[in-house]
Amino acid sequence: MVLDSYGRLSRVPETGELEKIDTQWADNRKVIERIGASLGEQLKDGLSAWKRSVRRPGWERLLERVESGESDGIVVWHTDRLFRQPRDLEKLIELGERGFKIYSAHGERDLSRADDRFILRIEVAQACKSSDDTSRRIKRRFATKREQGAGYLGGPRRFGWPGKDLAWVPGPEETDKDRPDVTADQVERERTALREGTDAQLAGIGQGTIANEWNAAGLRTALGREWIAVTVKSVLSRPMNAGLIEHDGKLVGRMEGDPIVDPEDFERLRAIYAARRRGRVVGERYIGTGILRCWLCRMKLSAAPKDTVYKDTGERRAVYFCNKQRRGCGKVYGDRRAIDHELRLLVIARQSDSRHASAVAAARARVADRLADLRAEIGECEQLQEALSERLGLREIRLDAFDRANKPLAADLARLRAERDQLSGGNADGPVEAQPPEEVARQWDDGDVSERRTMLTSALEKNVLYLKPAARTGARVFDRERLTFDDPEDPSGTAE
Ligand SMILES: [Zn+2]
């Protein structure tokens, strides 16, 4: 009996080390010796052989030898080295149905036997499913981390998990090497907080309240900061707390051991968050939120309704304010209606100002030229990259040559794409002609909140509009000087 030996260069997922073909062949020879067969050809394929688009000379040679009857079987470490997809197995079955043997870590399979074909088909289907390689890599990495006692997917320590204490500050004689692990006691307290926080959210208690409770109990984020509503939400949304391993939003596995939070509770909570996200149009209830900024701390302003009404219209009062729950200073606030009134005047003044309109038009024209250049450059880089990959696939160049040539290309592409996204991210479609003020006013008055926000953004272009704190004069009238383009760091007014 003549057995071929097959090796495929690959990396050990945990360490990135190469599983050398020589090693694989040496192991295969031992198997052939043990069976008492003779060694036919030693076949191999390269690192990228798992990719569908890449040719595999070793595999193709094997098919030839099976077809011609020169080979009675193949020895390989694992069947998943041999078969990229079920189609590969079917091909081999077709050629070797009258008797071809596969020896691997899974045992001996004979393609002339229906039972063995059945088993192989299941093995290959499973291997394909899990060798959705990312998923397998992540699981392996996770398994290794677990063995090391870290219990999570790597990276910095997460709240509720063991690891290096990120809140620790080195003393005068200490360096980062001295950074201690958090205590088991602290991890346990954090885990209790995660469970109780999830229960509280499911019972309708707000994130702000939970943040306050955690702060009062002396709990801090993994980085040692105080809790605010958004960080509470983000920490309660982590799948790993429920023992779920997700990658790009897809479940790829479950962690061993008891999850911190009941997976069912976690899914319910996530459903609630998702429903809220769908139900709410972000920031569309007020014209200035996320656009106006606090003059003291530069954070974007939030808005919230009040319990009182404007006497003349009966409309509910609201304020713009610098939001502590969004890491703002909390010191600046102003009446919603008064500020919206000023925003309306500002938009009318700017959009009907021919100097402003022509400046906007010129700026857009400059951007348009640059954008066209960028698109052309990106296209060129992509073509080069494609040509390179093609040559690699045809084995006209080696992998290391490909890497050398591709590295600067990839860097260029990243830079070009970032600039393109930044330039095209602005509002490039607004009017560039000056309009009569009555026309702008009519658009504003007829528009809904979202249309007014678009008009405001368009009128501001690259300028930032700040809200200053109120002077303590007790005046009831809104002081329009509080809205300013001045840069707080550079009050000379060069911002406009
Ligand atoms: Zn502020």
Answer yes or no: do 222 and 82 share one domain. Answer: no
Q: How far is the CA of 300 from the centre of ligand 1 (A)?
A: 8
Which residue carries 């030839």 as its tokens?
64
- Assess whether pLDDT exceeds 80 at residue 366: no
Range of the domain at 399: 354-424
Q: What is the Cα–Cα distance from 452 to 443, expressed in whole angstroms? A: 8
- Assess whether pLDDT exceeds 80 at residue 214: yes
Q: How far is the CA of 340 from the centre of ligand 1 (A)?
A: 19
Position with higher pLDDT, 375 vs 43: 43
Q: How far is the CA of 324 from the centre of ligand 1 (A)?
A: 8
Q: How far is the CA of 477 from the centre of ligand 1 (A)?
A: 22
Q: How far is the CA of 470 from the centre of ligand 1 (A)?
A: 13
Domain of 50: which CATH number? 3.40.50.1390
Answer yes or no: do 227 and 367 share one domain. Answer: no
Where does residue 420 fall: left (phi above 0), alpha (psi -120 to 50 degrees), or beta otherwise?
A: alpha
- Assess whether pLDDT exceeds 70 at residue 163: yes
Q: How far is the CA of 298 from the centre of ligand 1 (A)?
A: 6
Q: How far is the CA of 330 from the centre of ligand 1 (A)?
A: 5
For residue 136, tell me if it sits in a domain: no
**pLDDT single digits (tens) 325-334:** 888 899 999 9
Out of 270-274, 293-297, 481-485, least confident range: 270-274
**pLDDT single digits (tens) 386-404:** 777 777 777 777 777 777 7
Alpha-carbon 335 to chain mean position: 38
The one-letter amino acid at 417: R
Answer yes or no: do 218 and 273 share one domain. Answer: yes
Domain count for the chain = 4
Q: How far is the CA of 296 from the centre of ligand 1 (A)?
A: 5
Answer yes or no: do 99 and 113 share one domain. Answer: yes
How many angstroms separate the Cα of 62 from the Cα of each of 37, 38, 98, 147, 203? 17, 16, 16, 39, 63
Answer yes or no: do 448 and 403 share one domain. Answer: no
**Domain end residue (candidates: 66, 96, 131):** 131
Q: How far is the CA of 332 from the centre of ligand 1 (A)?
A: 6
Query: Which band of pLDDT confidence, cut at 50, 70 and 90, is reported for residue 261?
Result: very high
For residue 337, tell me if it sits in a domain: yes
Which residue carries 């009404």 as its tokens?
309
DSSP state of 11: E
Answer yes or no: do 255 and 342 share one domain. Answer: no
Query: Which band of pLDDT confidence, cut at 50, 70 and 90, is reported for residue 134?
Result: very low
Q: What is the Cα–Cα distance from 320 to 467, expressed in whole angstroms? A: 9
**Mean local confidence (pLDDT), 186-202:** 92
| pLDDT value of position 117 | 83
Position with higher pLDDT, 466 vs 128: 466
**Domain end residue (candidates: 377, 402, 424):** 424
Q: Report residue 430: phi and psi, to 5°.
A: -65, 170
Question: Using an 8 Å Cβ cutoff, are 291 and 465 in contact?
Answer: yes
Answer yes or no: do 345 and 473 share one domain. Answer: yes
51, two tokens: 């990719």
| pLDDT value of position 280 | 43
Q: SS3 letters for 54-65?
A: CCCHHHHHHHHH
- Assess whether pLDDT exceeds 80 at residue 479: yes
| pLDDT value of position 426 | 44
CA gyration radius, the chain: 32
433, two tokens: 């002609």
**pLDDT single digits (tens) 301-320:** 999 888 888 888 888 899 99
Which residue carries 């954008």 as its tokens?
371
Q: How far is the CA of 334 from the centre of ligand 1 (A)?
A: 12
For residue 140, tell me if it sits in a domain: no
Query: What residues have CB less than 8 Å from 371, skipping those under 6 apart?
Result: 420, 423, 424
Find, among 78, 82, 38, the residue nearest to 58 by Cα: 82
Query: Which band of pLDDT confidence, cut at 50, 70 and 90, is reported for residue 336?
Result: very high
Q: How far is the CA of 92 from the centre of ligand 1 (A)?
A: 69
The one-letter amino acid at 347: V
- Assess whether pLDDT exceeds 70 at residue 38: yes
76, two tokens: 């390989």
Q: How far is the CA of 465 from the centre of ligand 1 (A)?
A: 13
For residue 461, tell me if it sits in a domain: yes
4, two tokens: 């071929």
Q: What is the Cα–Cα distance from 407 to 392, expressed in whole angstroms? A: 14
Q: What is the Cα–Cα distance from 394 to 202, expressed in whole angstroms? A: 57
Answer yes or no: do 208 and 323 share one domain. Answer: no
If residue 483 lies in a helix (H) or strand (E), which one and from where to where? strand 483-484
Q: What is the Cα–Cα distance from 20 to 23, expressed in whole angstroms? A: 5
Answer yes or no: do 336 and 364 share one domain. Answer: no
Which residue carries 């003044």 as its tokens?
349
24, two tokens: 């694989």
Q: What is the Cα–Cα distance from 343 to 428, expressed in whole angstroms? A: 21
138, two tokens: 């992540």
Out of 57-66, 72-81, 181-190, 318-327, least confident range: 72-81
113, two tokens: 């036997």
Q: How far is the CA of 494 from the centre of ligand 1 (A)?
A: 21
> Taking the model in full, what pTM does it have?
0.38
| pLDDT value of position 376 | 78
Answer yes or no: do 338 and 366 share one domain. Answer: no
Q: What is the Cα–Cα distance from 146 to 162, expressed in whole angstroms? A: 11
For residue 142, tell me if it sits in a domain: no
If residue 39 lies in a helix (H) or strand (E), which one and from where to where? strand 38-45
Q: What is the Cα–Cα distance from 262 to 36, expressed in whole angstroms? A: 55
Answer yes or no: do 223 and 330 share one domain. Answer: no
Question: Using an 8 Å Cβ cutoff, are 467 and 480 in contact?
Answer: no
Q: How far is the CA of 25 from the centre of ligand 1 (A)?
A: 67
The one-letter amino acid at 205: I
- Assess whether pLDDT exceeds 60 at residue 462: yes
Q: How far is the CA of 487 from the centre of ligand 1 (A)?
A: 14
Q: How far is the CA of 169 from the centre of ligand 1 (A)?
A: 27
Q: How far is the CA of 122 from the centre of ligand 1 (A)?
A: 61
Position with higher pLDDT, 278 vs 365: 365
15, two tokens: 């360490």
**Mean local confidence (pLDDT), 39-59:** 80
| pLDDT value of position 150 | 40
Answer yes or no: do 337 and 444 share one domain. Answer: yes
| pLDDT value of position 493 | 44
Q: What is the Cα–Cα distance from 332 to 88, expressed in whole angstroms? A: 67
Q: Report residue 318: phi and psi, to 5°.
A: -150, 160
**Domain end residue (candidates: 249, 279, 309):** 279
The rounded mean pLDDT for the chain is 79
Q: How far is the CA of 173 from the centre of ligand 1 (A)?
A: 37
For residue 141, tell me if it sits in a domain: no
For residue 465, tell me if it sits in a domain: yes
The one-letter amino acid at 219: L
For residue 243, tell me if it sits in a domain: yes
Domain of 243: which CATH number? 3.90.1750.20
Please give the full DSSP string across 42-107, using - where no structure is assigned. EEEE-GGGGSTTS--HHHHHHHHHHHHT--SEEE-S-HHHH-SSHHHHHHHHHHHTTS-EEEETTE
